[in-house]
Structure 1
C-alpha cells in the first residue's frame, strides 16, 4: 500500500496531526505512516507510525523517506529554529530539496500548511511561506496549499504571545495593527482539516482556513482577558510604532523565542481573512474564538 509521509511531526501542529493520521491509517488498513525526523533517537512515534531519519534543509535521507509515498504533508519551517537569522534561505533550500526528492519518488500529492495572507504581504515570514508553496507546487501533480489564519492552541507561539500580553500588561501602547482583522482558528480545526484533505483528491490548490468570525487583535485581547477572568487591558493606539520597536517590548513580557517574536509581530500588520470558503467537508463548523481560547488555556 502507498505510504504517507508527515514532516514537522515534532512541531505543535504536526505533533497533533501524527496520532490522527496514524489512527486513520490503522483503522482503514492503509499503508504505513512515516514521520520524518532529524533526530529519531529523541522522538516518539504514535502507535501505527514509523520514524525515518532525514533533514529537508540538507536533503539527507529524503529519497529513502519518500520511497513508495503517495501523499506527503509538509509542515516544515525554519523560523526561530536557530542557524542564523536567514530563515527564508533555509526554508527555500528545504522546499527545493523536498520538491525534487518528491518528484523523483513519484509522490502524487503534497499538502502544505502556510499562512492566510494576501499575495502582496509585507511580512517576510508570510512571503517566505508563499515562496515555499510555489516551490513545492512545481514538483507534484496534486498540490494543496492550506492557508490558515492565527492558530489558537496551547502550543501556538502566536497564542502564547497573546496570552502573555493580557496576563502581564494592564496597559500597552500599540500601533495600528491592534485593529487589524483576522479569523483565528482552533488547533483542532486545523488538524481536522489537514486530516480530511488526505483523501480529498478532488481538492487541489488553495484551501483557506479560519474561524467563524473576523476579529481585531484588540477584540481578541478582550475576549482572552474574559476567559482568564482579568480586566481588559488598556490599549493606547499610536500612529507610528515600527515592528522592530513593537517586538522589543513583546520580547520583554512574553515567553516566545526571541527569533520568533519579530516575524510574528511583523505579520500582525496583515489582514488574514477567508476570501473563499474551503470545500464542503473541510472545516465546515469551526469553533468560535472563545471556545478555542478556553481549550488552549486548559492546555489543549
Structure 2
C-alpha cells in the first residue's frame, strides 16, 4: 500500500475483528480509539474522536485508506442521527484536507424510500455523504450480521433462550438476508486490495433469504429449544422494542432503533461483489453455530 490503513470504530463489534484480520494479512493498521484497548501485534493506536475534529489531523497523517465503521447509537437514542451526521462531516473535512484516497464504509441494507426506520435512514445518509466527498468511497450495505457480540445476533439469542412463547408484531414475516460476520470481514479486507471496488456500492448478504420468524425458529432448533411465535396485528415494532429491552441485555438505545427497522425488508438487490471477491458464503445454521462457539467479546460494543 502507498500509505497507512486507518480503522475508525476499531473498538466495535466489526472493528475489533477487522483489525485482527488486517494484522494476520500483514497490514499494520492504525486504530482510532477514544480510550485505550489491547490491540493485536502490528496495530497502532491513536487517540481521537470524530466528534472532536481537532483530534483527527494526527490520526489521518500519511493515511491512504480509511475504514469508516463509526456508529453513534451506543451513546444514546436521543440525537443519534445528528451525532452520526456531525461525525461524518468532521471526518470528511479532515480526510479531504489530509488527501485521503479511499474510504470503505459498512452501512445498512435496505430500500431507499421514505418508509425507512430512523436507523436505516441514518446509515443511508452517512453513505451518501461519504460518496459525495472528494475521495473514492466503497459502500457495503449489510443486513443482520451473525456473530457473538453483535447487537442483532444477541437479541435473537436472548429472545430464543428466554422466551419459549413470543407475542410478536407482523415484522416476523419480513424477509432478511443475514450474513456471517466472518464473511463481512472477508469483504472488507478484500475491498482493500480490489481496486475495482473503489467508488462503488455493493449489497452484501449470506446465501439464504429468511424471515425473522424462520431465523428464530432455526436458531431455537440449533440450541435444541422449542419456541412458539404468535404474530398479532395490534403489536407495533415500537411497542415490541420495549419488551425486547426488558428481556435482552442489549442497550435500549441500540435495540429500539433496530427493532423499529425490522419492518423494512433487507434483501440484496444485486450480487456484483461476489464476482470481484469470490468465496464460499456461510449458510445461516453454520454461522449461528460458529457464533455460539465463540468466546464472549471483550467489550459490549456494537
The alignment's TM-score, normalised by the length of structure 2, stands at 0.93
Which is further off, 90-99 or 275-284?
Answer: 275-284
User: 1:179 & 1:44 partners in 2: Cα distance?
Assistant: 41
Once the two structures are TM-superposed, the CA of residue 55 in structure 1 deviates from its matched residue by 0.5
- One of 53, 62, 68 as aligned partner of 2:56: 62
Once the two structures are TM-superposed, the CA of residue 60 in structure 1 deviates from its matched residue by 3.1
- One of 89, 95, 102 as aligned partner of 1:102: 95
1:32-51 alignment, distance < 5 Å: 32-39=28-35, 42-51=36-45
User: 1:214 & 1:53 partners in 2: Cα distance?
Assistant: 40
Question: Is 1:143 equivalent to 2:137 in the alignment?
Answer: yes
- Matched residue count: 291
Which deviations, in whole Å up to 9, do the C-alpha atoms of 1:258-288 show, x marking residues without a partner? 2111101011111111111032242532100
Instruction: Report if aligned partners of 1:25, 1:33 keep a CA contact under 8 Å in 2.
Output: no
Q: Unaligned 5+ residue runs, structure 1? A: 27-31
Instruction: Report if aligned partners of 2:194, 2:276 keep a CA contact under 8 Å in 1.
Output: no
Instruction: Report if aligned partners of 2:96, 2:135 keep a CA contact under 8 Å in 1.
Output: no
Q: What residue in structure 1 maps to residue 300 of structure 2?
A: none
Which deviations, in whole Å up to 9, do the C-alpha atoms of 1:4-36 show, x marking residues without a partner? 10011100100000011123234xxxxx42100
Which is further off, 285-294 or 199-208?
Answer: 199-208
Which deviations, in whole Å up to 9, do the C-alpha atoms of 1:223-279 show, x marking residues without a partner? 100111111x11111112222210111112111112111101011111111111032
Q: What residue in structure 1 maps to residue 290 of structure 2?
A: 295
Cα separation, partners in 2 of 1:214 and 1:112, compared to 1, 3 Å? same
- One of 92, 96, 104 as aligned partner of 2:85: 92
Q: What residue in structure 2 maps to residue 114 of structure 1?
A: 107
The alignment's TM-score, normalised by the length of structure 1, stands at 0.94
User: 1:265 & 1:187 partners in 2: Cα distance?
Assistant: 20
Instruction: Report if aligned partners of 2:66, 2:102 keep a CA contact under 8 Å in 1.
Output: yes
- One of 240, 261, 269 as aligned partner of 2:255: 261
Q: Unaligned 5+ residue runs, structure 2? A: 296-302
- One of 167, 181, 204 as aligned partner of 1:173: 167
User: 2:85 & 2:94 partners in 1: Cα distance?
Assistant: 14
Once the two structures are TM-superposed, the CA of residue 140 in structure 1 deviates from its matched residue by 3.2
Q: What residue in structure 2 maps to residue 29 of structure 1?
A: none
Once the two structures are TM-superposed, the CA of residue 201 in structure 1 deviates from its matched residue by 1.3
Instruction: Report if aligned partners of 1:109, 1:140 keep a CA contact under 8 Å in 2.
Output: no
1:71-90 alignment, distance < 5 Å: 71-82=65-76, 85-90=78-83
User: 1:123 & 1:99 partners in 2: Cα distance?
Assistant: 25
Output the aligned Cα RMSD: 1.3
User: 2:282 & 2:264 partners in 1: Cα distance?
Assistant: 22
